[in-house]
Amino acid sequence: MHSTAELMRKARAAGLVIPAFNTPYLPMVEAVVRAVVDEDSFALVETALLEWYKFEAKSASAVAEEYHKHQDPAHVRLHLDHVPVIDEDGKRWDYLAVIAQALAVGYQSVMVDGSRLDLEANIGATRVVAELAHAAGVPCEAELGAVLGHEAGPLPPYEELFESGIGFTDVREAKRFVEETGCDWLSVAVGNIHGAISGALANQKKMEAKLDLMHVSKLSGATGIPLVLHGGSGVKREHVLEGIKRGISKINVGTEIRHAYEHTLRDAGSVSAAQDAVYDRTRWVLRDYYGVSGDSKNLVG
């Protein structure tokens, strides 16, 4: 069986993308797996630390247990998303313990997020996690730059953020970061933003974003590894498709399917109906947004 690291390298070489679906509610896991299998696509099922205490995913172990009930390695793998050294609320986490526990329960790739540290500290934290992951035969994702959106309160106007390049991943820093950490994939800031997770903003439609495509090309050339786009929901489709050609090999999708689950559960009062809404929206993302239906054979086959 191809490792997740091999599949990501294959996607980058072929100009393909592997979507990664966040599951902040445990019943979403089954719906996402079913949708990916029925589209004959390939994707990651993922969970982030903040989804365990700000939503209802409970823990890395709880998501892994649910995933293993429905797993299909020809179509899906399990990924540990954002484990922050310091989170959006300024809290410092024992990130090594969290990642070690996830590796022990079968996660097939992991992410450490040191993006709120200075460059030297981010390099140091990421290097340790990469060594830990590699010792377990698992790839490590890291983040450099500031993908905004999870912080409490409204963001500045999007166009102001984009034109200023605030938080964009620096190309020279990215080259050094990859060389010194040994990370396998790099989450970059190139105009993408996370969906809000706090207060009333969490239920609002996410603002449309765009990508600085020339910046994507420069980062891809400088790092030589698969790039990751966090905050994939709501990005202009033509920018996404062009970004994939330029080196974006993994795109995280959260808000798009989370809203489908939450809104249906609120309106219908049925977990089963909410799962069906996630299933339908996931199939739409795979088929109509990314156009990756049938890609399983191009990656795993």
Catalytic residues: 81
Hey, what are 141's tokens? 């994702």
- Report which of 187, 266, 268 is spatially closest to residue 8, judged by C-alpha positions: 187
Displacement of CA 217 from its chain's centroid (Å): 20
What is the 3 state secondary structure string of 8-54?
Answer: HHHHHHHCCCEEEEECCECHHHHHHHHHHHHCCCCEEEEECCHHHHC
The DSSP element (H or E) to which 145 belongs, if any, is none
**Rounded Cα distance, 12 and 232, in Å:** 17
Radius of gyration of the chain (CA): 17
Other Cβ atoms closer than 10 A to 99: 25
Query: Which residue's entry shows tokens 């990924």?
Result: 79
Other Cβ atoms closer than 10 A to 159: 9
Burial of 154 per CB tally in 10 Å (0-12, 13-18, 19+): exposed
Residue 162 is which amino acid?
A: F
The alpha carbon dihedral of 50, 51, 56, 60 has a sign of negative
Cα 54 to Cα 62, 76, 154, 235, 272: the distances in Å are 15, 25, 18, 24, 22
